[in-house]
């Protein structure tokens, strides 16, 4: 069982948010570059992730 430490979570939150934004941008750029592939499985998944983040 994992005990969540609120102070540790608060300390790590800014870095986790920044990482999330960086990864979201990466997925968006990948989706743009792969748009020529139509609805490939990878592109569909990338679009799904981006829609969930919006």
- Model confidence at 11, pLDDT cuts 50, 70, 90, reads very high
pLDDT tens-digit readout, 33-48: 888 877 788 888 888 8
Is the model's pLDDT at 1 over the cut of 60? no
- Model confidence at 2, pLDDT cuts 50, 70, 90, reads low
Contact call for residues 23 and 8 (beta carbons, < 8 A): no
C-alpha–C-alpha distance, residues 47 and 28, integer Å: 8
């Amino acid at each position: 069982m994992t005990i969540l430490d609120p102070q540790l979570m608060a300390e790590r939150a800014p870095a986790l948010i920044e990482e999330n934004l960086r990864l979201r941008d990466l997925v968006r750029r990948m989706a743009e570059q792969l748009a020529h592939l139509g609805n490939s499985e990878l592109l569909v998944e990338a679009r799904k992730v981006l829609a969930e983040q919006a």
